[in-house]
Structure 1
Amino acid sequence: MKSNWTGCALSLLILLAAAPAAAQSYPNKPVRLIVPIAPGGQTDLLARLVAQKLSEKWNQPVVIDNRAGASTRIGMSLAAGSAPDGYTLVLANSAMAINPALFKMPYDTFRDLAPITNLAYIPFVLATHPSVPAKSVKELIALAKSGRHKLTFGSGGSGSPSHLSGELFKARAGIDATHVPYKGLGQSLVALLSGEIDFLFAGPLVVMQQVKAGKVRALAVGSTKRFPALPDLPTVAEAGLPGYEAGIWFGVLAPGGTPRAIVNKLHDDIVPILALPEVKSRLEAYNAIVIGDTPAEFAAFIKTEIAKWSSIAKKITVQ
């Protein structure tokens, strides 16, 4: 019996010693970074920026693998089912927190994925057509409640972050507005410019040029604090809806079960990249706010996001 206990103890010690050793030699071969959208979008561009800097740091290739489709579920499922050895990563966006609220998922977010860090966040801007007789969030809410104007809002598609952000606004404000989905935010912006819809939630890059030209009106920003790129624009929260927050975030995750030592090394190697001058300037050009939180903080944030969107999804129908 004693020899059995001794053998078990030795095996445990070997396993405990192996994890740090594996992290020290990691990575010793190419790493795959799955991007669950098509090439060219902000998620893809950020992934390529991070991959380039990690390749330089590790002296190992970090290969981008675009796996678009099903609102990021194809790429996320591939990542969740990959070997938990640190050689497959995924750069997810906020759709990963919305999807569990809308669809039956082929993986368990909390069991099958290991958060590493939330890289950056781009808050949505609440923008209206100039013909809408409301110049503030409070006036827009009052207009909706008056019954004098039946509001419509557009989005980049049913179930998209811009759609759910509008539904969150409706729920928090206690108003009604008809959702009009389009094939992408570009089409919804065209609809806003023509007056086909009354308002939408979209990233600053989508709407701010039109705001400056006076073709649309920006009422507020969806971040918890004022957006540095738009310091004169109030947040939705301070403009009348306390606690409102909506936008797009971008984070790196590994398959669930990836050794903690490797997760920590990935975090420690990725976060300093966000402080590099060329990376900071690129993120500022995207109107992104740098985050770089810990694995535990990112995991808690994802849990909060899923709960928030689940409460909204129960009230709507996604086609």
Structure 2
Amino acid sequence: MAFPRRKTLTHWLPLLALAAACSVGSAQAQDAYPSKPVRVIVPYPAGGGTDIIARLIGTQLSQRLGQAVVVENKPGASGMLGNDTVAKAPGDGYTVLMGITAVVQIPALYKKVPYKLSDLVPVSQIAKSADLLMVPRSSGVTTLQQFVEKAKAAPGSLNYGSYGNATSSHMNGERFKQQAGIDITHIPYQGSGPEVAALLGGQLTLAFVDATAAYPYIKSDKVNILAITGAQRHPALPQVPTMTEAGYPGLEANGWFGMFAPASTPKTIVDRLGAEVAAIVKSPELNKRLTDMGLIAVGSLPEDFKAQVDKDAAHWKSVAESARISMD
């Protein structure tokens, strides 16, 4: 009876050895990550804030990983082209996305999106932004409540500017109108630059301006800053209340910049990338660069960023539905 058992064992030994070799080989392959250059896809043109941050992160990430990190701009379709590139890329850690809040807003704004949010896995939230509510100083308005009273006294006569249709500023503006019960006209611009120029030129009575674009004007004698969206006051503007503190809740969601990978990427690689990016963001050098851009540095790990992504996706969907904002 021993002979057949010995024969069976002999039969299986090569297969067991092969399985063990494959297991060791797989572990060694993951341990060896990265063994080639890493691509960072930016779904917007070169020179913008997302591109600048991607290159800042990429330079230091290359040093930490010991491999080249190549930033590749893939603008188009409001960011969907670049997002889709990463969503459909192999989950091997060699293609990642430098995304912004639009990643979670797009599914709520468009009926046809070539990928699902679940096709991307959060790696690290790099920095937070917010919108500043600004008015011309010549208006004499110094508090948000004063603006609301002025708007209620003359329905339809005032306006507010945003840096584009279906952007965070547009959705924040519509949520503010709902919360305050006022009738003001939305005027979208192609970016924060033209929007700020219109505000300074007196064409706007109120503007929701991204903090990074507004940063050069925060001490200007031509504007008053009434409030800020997001969950906390801005470090550079400690005297400016949040919208909630000013009496208008529902605008606590921050804008952000964050890194994503294809959902099929092994957790070990996602965790490695998340830890490296978090360490980079928390370094004095990059922290200062982000602060100088008007941003609030974060540097979160994958689990924390995922919780934020899930929360924000639900928030922006609610805003888009209640304000009937759609790009279709």
TM-score when normalising by structure 1: 0.90
| 1:58-103 C-alpha deviation (Å, 9 max, x unpaired) | 2210111100122111100111010111110000011112111111
Change in CA separation of 1:307 and 1:14 when aligned onto 2, cut-off 3 Å = farther
Quick check: 1:226 aligned with 2:233?
yes
- Structure 1 residues 79-88 or 123-132, which shifts more? 123-132
Offset at residue 260 of structure 1 (A): 0.8
Task: Supply the distance in 1 between the matched residues of 2:37 and 2:181 (Cα, whole angstroms).
Answer: 51
- Structure 1 residues 124-133 or 74-83, which shifts more? 124-133
Task: Supply the distance in 2 between the matched residues of 1:216 and 1:316 (Cα, whole angstroms).
Answer: 31
Aligned residues: 316
- 1:1-319 aligned at under 5 Å gives the runs 20-103=27-110, 104-110=112-118, 112-147=119-154, 150-314=157-321, 315-318=323-326
Question: Which runs of no fewer than 5 residues in structure 1 stay unpaired?
Answer: none
Offset at residue 35 of structure 1 (A): 0.6
Task: Supply the distance in 2 between the matched residues of 1:129 and 1:52 (Cα, whole angstroms).
Answer: 40
SS for the counterpart of 2:78 is: coil
Counterpart amino acid of residue 106 in structure 1: P
Counterpart amino acid of residue 69 in structure 2: V
Change in CA separation of 1:211 and 1:20 when aligned onto 2, cut-off 3 Å = same
Report % sequence identity. Answer: 37
Counterpart amino acid of residue 66 in structure 2: N
SS for the counterpart of 1:71 is: helix
Deviating beyond 4 angstroms after TM superposition, the runs of 4 or more aligned structure 1 residues are: 6-20
SS for the counterpart of 1:229 is: coil
Question: Which runs of no fewer than 5 residues in structure 2 stay unpaired?
Answer: 1-7
CA contact (8 A) 1:172 1:244 kept: no
Change in CA separation of 1:201 and 1:142 when aligned onto 2, cut-off 3 Å = same
TM-score when normalising by structure 2: 0.88
Larger Rg: 2
Offset at residue 316 of structure 1 (A): 2.8
